[in-house]
Amino acid sequence: MNLSQDIAFLEYYGVPRQRLEAAEIRGRKLNLPPSIVLMAAGTIQESVYYRCLADKLELEFVDSTPPKEIEGTKIPRPEELKKMAQIVTIGNSGIKLLDEIAPKSVYLAPEGADFVKIENLVRKCGVLRHRICISTRSSNLISLRNGLSERLIDFATKALLDRFPHYSAMNTIMPTQAVILVLGLLLTAYLMFFAPMDVRIGLHLLATFFYLECIAIKIYAWIGFGSVQQQRIWKPPPLNESELPDYSILVPLYHEDGQVKDLVNALERIRWPVERLEIMLICEADDKKTIDACKHETDRPNRFHFSVIPVPVCQPRTKPKAMNYALPLCRGEYVVVYDAEDRPHPLQLQEAFDVFSKGENDLACLQAPLAIRNAEEGILTRLFAIEYLALFDGVLPALTRLCLRRHLPLPIPLGGTSNHFRREVLLDVGGWDAYNVTEDADLGVRLAREGYRIGTITQTTREEAPVEISIWLKQRTRWFKGWYQTWLVHMRHPIWMYRDLGLLGMVLFQLLTLGMAISTLVHPLLVYHVVRAIIDLSSGTLSLQDYCFAWLSVIMVLLGYLSLIVVANDTLKLRNVTISRWVYLAIPLYWILLSFAAWRALWHLIRYPHRWEKTPHRLQNA
């Protein structure tokens, strides 16, 4: 077999011909340079390959390329960056491959057919050898990224604000909204204490109406669970690697050095051609421990597809800002987001691609179910696991089925991880909102408003639930605050939203945001009326008003608990998860904790609207 010139010379440096021929065959199959196949397989490390190439061409090798200033104001597309990385010229002049050489250093990292061009160039211009050196593609890409840093930061923090200012949570609440909300709260407080009894009963009915709406969503999921379960049976089709596109995995990390080793091992189990896989570990530039841990784990021959992306320190310091920084650099046709503690199923990318391929072009995002891997550690983790099962295996599949049946884009609440996107669509809608602390909830609404649909897949991602109440409380406070932000942002112009989503979408949005918020906030009030009625009944002083409030509260509270239990029971069977049923007795206390987090989130919304309360994770084996 005739070998391509970009790998044929490696036989002289000790690479077995059998491996070179296998790389040649695979490169033709995937339409990739065989040198990339060799490096991706770990047969030869990238730095070793280019060092051998430099020796072959009798050029100097350097393993670090200085930052390259790139003209213009736009960020080059990933395919343009990839091409630019082959020739990085440091200086004011440009370079034409076979025409002229810039007077300053030129850093070359040729691939495939460009190897021949570079070899011919060096032979013709031997006198200029001292101006040319060989570098690696990775170091050239780092040089280009550093040169684009200011533009990437501008995109990360302002892309949505510049293109769709009405979607940005930078200014969470508008003056008109603030006035209306304050007046509404004052009026409600006045009526609660000074209005006639029938008015107070009416307010109580209104509060329980929102409570009932949230119950109705769970009941809808439970009723349709059988048909949803049948639709969720997925069998891997025969894998034709030559037809698979590039896939990018984004993993934002902050103070997660203890998680990196297990995370990288888990991501390596994903079944996707490594030549078509790109894994970006995104770190804050001042988080030296995490950056060092990432470099230590990825600086190995078989981890060529990993890269570490340091994000310059700037405000806001949020997960969506970090992901936005890396998004324009992704070369994948599809993008998925994982968190530091995530352990995705190895077939998850295959299922997502299969569903995307069979779906229509307006299918923009797929949510993988999240499951708790430490559910048996305590009561809190068991309740967390039940909640996740009910949401990701019950409610979300039911809502996406409704979306499919109605042929409408509906606002589906995404989870904060394991979201698979079409990259072009994600860029088209402005990426993530850097100022929203639940960027997933906002993006689910924004995609629907822009005419895109969201679906679900079945291959799970296992993650860790907080074990300590203090950590859980901070996490839930951030979630509630982000949902408040999302409601305030999208209700700035209700008429516009109605026009975008239609009646069904508008109603569903209110149920999933406002309904969830109010039902959580008023839950202690309902419990209070039940407890007060019991006390008054025992003393014989129960009034008609309290009697009405008590029965209404009892019905709503029991329905709320039961709706969660029936959905959880079915999803527990689906996932073959065993959790002791006695844990259900702790649901009332859990909901009180949720209410406390919701009220705490209201205070944080006013005092710290963009603060990201980090959820620390423990060191735990994959």
7-43: pLDDT as tens digits: 999 999 999 999 999 999 999 999 999 999 999 999 9
The whole-angstrom separation of Cα 528 and Cα 530 is 5
Residue 316: in which H helix or E strand, if any? none
Mean pLDDT of the chain: 85
What was the pLDDT predicted at 614? Answer: 78
Residue 267 and residue 280: Cα distance in Å, rounded? 11
For 164-312, list the strands marked E by DSSP. Answer: 247-253, 277-284, 306-311
Position 100 pLDDT exceeds 50: no
Per-residue pLDDT, 224: 67
> Beta strand 363-367 with 453-456: parallel, antiparallel or unpaired?
parallel
* Section 376-390 average pLDDT: 88
* Amino acid type, 394: G
- What pLDDT is recorded for position 289? 95
% residues pLDDT > 90 (the chain) = 49
| Amino acid, res. 153 | I
The yes-or-no verdict on residue 326 having pLDDT over 80 is: yes
Residues 393-404, mean pLDDT to the nearest whole number: 84
Question: Is residue 144 within 8 Å of 84, Cβ to Cβ?
Answer: yes
Q: What is the mean pLDDT of residues 156-173?
A: 91
Instruction: Give, in order, the Cα–Cα distances in Å from 2 to each of 12, 27, 98, 185, 403.
Output: 15, 13, 26, 79, 54
Residue with the larger pLDDT of the pair 123 and 468: 468
CA 594, 188, 603: angle at the middle one, nearest 5?
40
**214-228, 397-411, 492-506 — which is least confidently predicted?**
214-228
> For the residues 192-201, what does the mean pLDDT come to?
62
Residue 454, helix vs strand vs coil: strand
CA pair distance 599, 109, nearest whole angstrom? 56
Within 10 angstroms of residue 81's Cβ, the number of other Cβ atoms is 19
- Reference 391, options 408, 416, 363; nearest CA is 416
Comparison of pLDDT for 327 and 573, the residue scoring more: 327
Element (H or E) spanning 598, and its range? helix 587-607
43: tokens are 């047969």
Query: pLDDT at position 102, please?
Result: 44
Q: Region 162-188: what's the mean pLDDT?
A: 82
Order of strands across the sheet with 343-344? 343-344, 461-463, 370-372
Q: Which residues pair with 87 in a beta bridge?
A: 108
Residue predicted with more confidence, 218 or 541: 218
Give residue for tokens 């199959």.
Answer: 29
Overall average pLDDT of the 325-329 stretch:
96
Residue 302: its H or E element = none
- Mind listing the pLDDT tens digit for each residue in 428-469? 999 999 999 999 999 999 999 999 999 999 999 999 999 999
Contact 110, 59 (CB under 8 A): no
At what angle are helices 469-490 and 439-449 packed, to 10 degrees? 30
Out of 189-193, 289-293, 468-472, 485-489, which region has the weakest mean confidence (pLDDT)? 189-193
Q: Output the DSSP codes for 430-477.
A: TS--TT-TTHHHHHHHHHHHTT-EEEE-S--EEEPPP-SHHHHHHHHH
pLDDT given at position 210:
72
Query: Parallel, antiparallel, or unpaired: how do β-strands 306-311 and 334-337 relate?
Result: unpaired
Taking the model in full, what pTM does it have? 0.91
For residue 187, the one-letter residue type is L
Residue 103: which pLDDT band, with cuts at 50, 70 and 90?
very low
Q: How many whole angstroms separate alpha carbon 575 and alpha carbon 558?
A: 26
CA distance 214 to 111: 56
pLDDT of 531 strictly over 80: no
Select from 588, 507, 593 the least CA-distant residue to 553: 588
Does residue 609 carry a pLDDT above 50?
A: yes
**pLDDT value at 310 more than 90:** yes
Mean pLDDT calculated for residue range 250-271: 94
3-state secondary structure of 107: strand
Q: What number is the average pLDDT over the span 359-387?
A: 90
Residue with tokens 């019991």: 534
Q: Report residue 238 as tokens.
A: 């025969």
β pairing state of 106-108 and 87-89:
antiparallel
Least trusted range by pLDDT, from 425-429, 453-457, 510-514: 510-514
Q: Within a 13 Å sphere around the CA of 452, how many CA atoms are in the beta-carbon half?
A: 21
Q: What are phi and psi of 112, to 5 degrees?
A: 55, -130
CA distances from 58 to 109, 115, 120, 128, 528 (A): 14, 14, 13, 12, 82
Higher-confidence residue of 415 and 178: namely 415
Read off the tokens for 439.
């960027």
Question: What mean pLDDT is predicted for residues 43-55?
Answer: 92
Of 199-208, 352-361, 495-504, 588-597, the one with minimum mean pLDDT is 199-208
Q: Kindly report which listed range (106-110, 541-545, 553-557, 595-599) carries the lowest average pLDDT score.
A: 541-545
pLDDT score, position 535: 73
